[in-house]
Amino acid sequence: MLERTRTTERYARGFAAAVAAVAALVLAANAGPAKADDPEPDRQTTVPVEAAVR
């Protein structure tokens, strides 16, 4: 037959589960796409087609 668990065991398991859940949420929140090496786009001016053809 199943034995009753002690109150401190239940609280310890609950606390451990809460810590694991918070750790999983923090890791999930920090997981995201990597940042680009060069976040600034090239700021070169465009040349009109007429000037490029000549």
48 found inside a domain: no
Q: Burial letters for 4-37: b for 16+ Cβ neighbours within 10 Å, e otherwise?
A: eeeeeeeeeeeeeeeeeeeeeeeeeeeeeeeeee
49 found inside a domain: no
The structural domain count of the chain equals 1
Question: What CA–CA distance (Å, rounded) separates 13 from 19?
Answer: 10
21 found inside a domain: yes
pLDDT at 40: 65
Question: What CA–CA distance (Å, rounded) separates 18 from 24?
Answer: 10
pLDDT at 31: 80
- Mind listing the pLDDT tens digit for each residue in 1-54? 578 889 999 999 999 999 999 999 999 988 877 666 666 665 666 766 676 665
Q: Which residue has the tokens 């918070």?
A: 22
pLDDT at 1: 59
pLDDT at 38: 64
Q: What is the pTM (predicted TM-score) of this model?
A: 0.53
pLDDT at 11: 97
